[in-house]
Amino acid sequence: MNFSALVFVFSGLLASADVFAQVDTPQRSDWQMIFDEYDAQGTIVVLDERQPESNLMVLNESRSQQRLPPASTFKIPHALFALDAGVVKDEFQLFPWDGVQRTFADHNQDQDLRSSMRTSAVWVYEVFGKQIGEDKARQYLNRIDYGNADPTGDTSTYWIDGNLRITAQEQISFLKKLYLNQLPFDEADQRLVKDIMIVEAGREWILRAKTGWEGQIGWWVGWVEWPTGPVFFALNIDTPNSLEDLHKREAITRKVLQSIEALPRN
């Protein structure tokens, strides 16, 4: 690893530590009622920066520190890797569908960077992974201090069924650095990835987020931007009922965010 990469790693470690060292971490046991409403087991971490003093809130802190496969939440950093490596030139570059019929119908068509993020088309990111390669992927992962930074495994999707792992708290640290354009990538690329993460917006707020699912664990991570500051969140839950549980990721998170007025109530 060269000197610049070491600087990036060290800076990332400091930034990651700062997110949690400078704030209180109250346990939000009241949020358990929302999880119970959906018969879900999991954790959520929320970092509310709308006040002068950041407010970090956690339900199930022990699980929030457990490293799990990031699944398709990894598309956020992976898109940055692909842009930096020149695997994808811009948001308009088309990736032709290979004709393989996949479970989700939206995946069975040509994709660009925006659509592959919106539909979570795994095969596009398999292309990125093959072209980036394991060694360069490890360098990128270390540079951004992402989880255990391990892109190995006898699979083409190391972020789903390989050895890559990250905690909910580490997700928050990564997202905050992206929000601030403090990752070791071109600022224009960071702004592009944030743009394609937009899920919903109101007059005063923007929700940027990404789902993930590896079969047993479901994720929803991102943040809500307000004029007074961002509210970051990272949820993971068990999904014993497979596809039937996937709606719970967003439903639970939205209710948690609404409980602190970080999202408007419908």
Give CA–CA dist 44/257, Å, rounded. 10
Give CA–CA dist 207/250, Å, rounded. 12
Under 8 Å between Cβ of 56 and 234: no
Select from 203, 9, 201, 166 the least CA-distant residue to 78: 166
61 class by beta-carbon count within 10 Å (0-12 exposed, 13-18 middle, 19+ buried): middle
φ, ψ for residue 95, nearest 5 deg: -115, 110
Assess whether 72 carries a catalytic annotation: yes
CB contact burial 101-122 (16+ within 10 A = b; e otherwise): eeeeeebbeebbbbbbbbbbbb
DSSP class of residue 127 equals H
71 class by beta-carbon count within 10 Å (0-12 exposed, 13-18 middle, 19+ buried): buried
76 class by beta-carbon count within 10 Å (0-12 exposed, 13-18 middle, 19+ buried): buried
Greatest alpha-carbon span in the chain: 52
For residue 240, the tally of other CB atoms under 10 A from its CB is: 11
Tell me the pairing of strands 206-213 and 55-59: unpaired
* Set 16, 54, 64, 72: catalytic member: 72
The residues carrying an active-site annotation are: 72
